[in-house]
Structure 1
């Protein structure tokens, strides 16, 4: 819903090095105006740099990125860049990074099996729920 709201208000969203090509029809079905979405393909060594530049620029409302390697220092740089550019930063990482430190205000873990659910692993200013939030299956 956030990306749909941003793109409908003609604000730019950038996707940096997604693992798969976004399903345009699916995003449109969720209300995202794909004319406001740009995809940046960057070599792995440049993913963090490209993400930081987009966040810092002030021309993006939100940036979504999939870096394979990002330590807490790199994540802090992205956080500062997002604050500077007044943008939302969404960083998607593999579950293997769950035990690593992160400056993120909100950390979520999605589980698909045995049933779709969302774990809140960190939330600034509030207690972390001890149970997952069940997610409704999409009708398909």
Structure 2
């Protein structure tokens, strides 16, 4: 005698799906076992999967122009990480300003400044830092990044316990990207307007206003006119030079 077909109820299907790692409903923000770090901005945390910046994943910040508050958005996270781990700034648009780092409660002894000679060298350096695992976080600035380079960065990030933020022009929002989290930033009075254009979860209906208390006044982390004694890596991209910079 043939057995009757197995009946699977909707409740069983939902329970099975929720038990699977990294599975979420399209109408809800993703909740997974991935490690995250709170951004320090309540409004933003509420709109991010797992309530914070994801570790081991490429995060893109797309800015209308440099200096609109993107570094102040990262300030709480960078200040916390720099206490015990190195942070690499790769090809920033301006010179790092050591006094501002200290005023932001960042340990400037754990800040590494890399100024490669080309975009290709900068991407290579960031990828090697991720593979090396010697830094707790990487902040990389790039204008034009090919999809293959983005994929390599994301794969390298997935294999390490490092936070990585890629800062790109706002026009890059129209480009496809493997990054699971992309946020477009525009200037706003007293803060920034953050438009989450890609996340694991439903579409963010409207941009968020994120207040930044240091926006009206205060020193910038990067300054055109000041150069401070932040440890700078050699401009070459040899493996020996990069290894020496991470010592």
Whether these two folds match at TM > 0.5 is yes
The DSSP-based 3-state class of the residue aligned with 1:85 is coil
Please list the CA deviations of residues 32-91 of structure 1 after superposition, one character each: whole Å capped at 9, or x if unmatched: 211111000101231110110011111111111112221222111111111223211111
Counterpart position of 2:97: 23
Counterpart position of 1:36: 110
Distance apart, 1:113 and its partner CA: 5.1
CA distance in 1 between partners of 2:202 and 2:104 (Å)? 30
- Determine whether 1:100 maps to 2:175: yes
Distance apart, 1:25 and its partner CA: 2.8
Which structure has the larger Rg over C-alpha atoms?
Answer: 2
CA distance in 1 between partners of 2:185 and 2:99 (Å)? 22
The DSSP-based 3-state class of the residue aligned with 1:70 is coil
CA distance in 1 between partners of 2:110 and 2:92 (Å)? 17
CA contact (8 A) 2:194 2:209 kept: yes
Counterpart position of 1:119: 195
Counterpart position of 1:52: 127
Structure ranking higher on relative contact order (CA contacts 8 Å, 6+ apart): 2
Please list the CA deviations of residues 88-112 of structure 1 after superposition, one character each: whole Å capped at 9, or x if unmatched: 1111111121111111121011101
After the TM superposition, which segments of 4 or more aligned residues of structure 1 sit over 4 Å from their partners?
A: none
28-37 or 57-66, which moves further after superposition? Answer: 28-37
45-54 or 22-31, which moves further after superposition? Answer: 22-31
The DSSP-based 3-state class of the residue aligned with 1:14 is strand
Q: What is the root-mean-square deviation in Å for CA atoms of aligned residues?
A: 1.7
Q: For structure 2, which runs of at least 5 residues remain unmatched after alignment?
A: 1-75, 218-247
Number of equivalences: 138
**TM-score (normalizing by structure 2):** 0.52
Q: For structure 1, which runs of at least 5 residues remain unmatched after alignment?
A: none
CA distance in 1 between partners of 2:144 and 2:95 (Å)? 20
CA contact (8 A) 1:4 1:31 kept: yes
Distance apart, 1:23 and its partner CA: 3.0
**TM-score (normalizing by structure 1):** 0.89
Counterpart position of 2:149: 74
CA distance in 2 between partners of 1:75 and 1:11 (Å)? 24
